[in-house]
Chain A
């Protein structure tokens, strides 16, 4: 176990390092005119050169990269080009928003998906099964922004017209500041994201459950005289959950990089929105910082998935 973790963490560090190299490389392959943008239309070449010097952009790329790595190893990801705000600070602002979104939505879609999947699998080809499949496919095939805008139209616009102001149009309030407002701001984004992803989980759980329910040990369980509910949950779902947990870890890891469309529709200043802004403005330190956080999330999620896998299935040994 310890050896497994050490090996996987080292591998993760290598992956993160390769990603920084790639992002740095890309940034300098495409022509960048950050200094010119910052200096404004009428800037003299001298001003531009000065700005380039201040941002360190006049240094050779390899030197800039080494500087970056050196500082990064000390927990300093540099400053954004435009307002000189520490990148770590920007991330610390945006990450809780994205985490709020990802974790809240993931709980909803997991419960919804697994519950519907079990229901579908235990009543295959029934009305419930068909209804749930249609329901989840409907949202699955819907463009994310459309679903978000529809929810806003119904729950913000129409309700507000009728004097009900439970759901704001967008934005974010930190939990620590006002838990109720935080919740009100998060509900619609959660539902949007959850409905989009629930279909995958419904189908995954359904397929996995159908497999498991055909296993010999389910027949054994029934032959013991336990309740059918116990057969389905303690024996069936317990075994069927493994692929679901894997998928869940991967999805959650990816979401930490930002659910761009959902964040945009609901004007949530999370990592996704921040990344899009940074990319349009070619704000390299911010881009790299966010890419690092997102990649680290994926790497960690993968390790957690493997550990969870071993915890779920006693036949699996970590090594």
Chain B
């Protein structure tokens, strides 16, 4: 059984301009100890989706189910949620500087998460904090616990965030673009640290990213998101070699070839639909080179392809031809 199941997750925000449907029926499962990659363009609802897992999207209307070990977090009360947050699901975010409290010492911030869930004294928590800093590769951890976030470099700050999120060896680590704000060389180091801790603690990771390179390196399964919904879900190799959805194809073919400095996406022509008035039918239709009549009228169902773990929300036949360049890129 899966550790975490997200079923038909729907998240919307009531804004002065109208109701923003940021997540529209997202489903995926996360197996214990595995890594799930969540990719998609900016604004596709990745952050909203993963933050809603622990109900951090305040003021949002939320529907669907998020089941952790048989318990639906969306109907859990405040107390039950608190026991999950930090202890069973850890989180790290894109910008490690703004995600750490500027007025509190690093050690204090790590001690706080430990003491929120365990009945231990300050001194013991502090020693644990220093151990954790050492574990994520911060030199002289016993003295660095007394430093403030602004005294660390970007990569070191993200290591601090990882140390904090992993302090209670949670079953799930949600990493929302953890390397986007970092230099390329630092990115690799930070990913290494995450991978190492994952092996050590057996943590499952939800890795939100723009970067298909990161997906190719880390993910066991991939969910491709567009306009708040999953376009395609598949195991990594299946997705890279036998992708089905034209949006996935767009992402893969816009990937710079190997050897170029960064694996970041080059944008697909056109822009995503407004989440206030999502058109009926396939949300990708206005930008899809294969679109036909039916596409903009009826929303495609998530068709199961040859591999039962592979699903694609597209009307095209299962055996549609694919572009060659994408496979090379993968």
A residues at B contact (CB < 8 Å): 215-217, 219-228, 235, 238-239, 312-315
Contacts and interface: CB of A to CB of B under 8 A. Distances in A.
A224 B86 contact: yes
Nearest to B90: A223
Given A313-B103, A315-B150, A225 B98 contact: no
B113 A224 contact: yes
A101 B105 CA distance: 38
Sorting the interface of chain B by its residue count into under 10, 10 to 19, 20 to 34 or 35 or more gives 20 to 34
Interface string B81-118: 11111110011010100111111100000001100110
Given A216-B95, A223-B91, A315 B85 contact: no
Contacts of A312: 103
B101 A220 contact: yes
B54 interface: yes
B78 interface: yes
B93 A220 contact: yes
Interface of B: 51, 54, 56, 78, 81-87, 90-91, 93, 95, 98-104, 112-113, 116-117, 148, 150, 161, 164-165
Contact of A221 (B78, B83, B98, B101): B101
Given A219-B93, A220-B91, A226 B82 contact: yes
A216 B99 contact: yes
Contact of B82 (A220, A225, A235, A313): A225
A220 B99 contact: yes
A239 to B, nearest CB: 6
Contacts of A226: 82, 86, 112-113, 116
**Chain A interface SS verdict (over half):** helix
Given A219-B51, A219-B93, A315-B150, A224 B102 contact: no
B103 A239 contact: yes
A228 B112 contact: no
A228 B101 contact: no
B51 A220 contact: no
A38 B316 CA distance: 106
Contact of A225 (B84, B101, B148): B84
7 contacts: A220-B161, A223-B90, A225-B116, A226-B113, A226-B116, A238-B103, A313-B103
A228 B78 CA distance: 9
Contact of A314 (B56, B91, B148, B165): B148
Contacts of B81: 225
B264 to A, nearest CB: 22
Given A312-B103, A315-B150, A224 B98 contact: no
Contacts of B98: 215-217
A224 B54 CA distance: 10
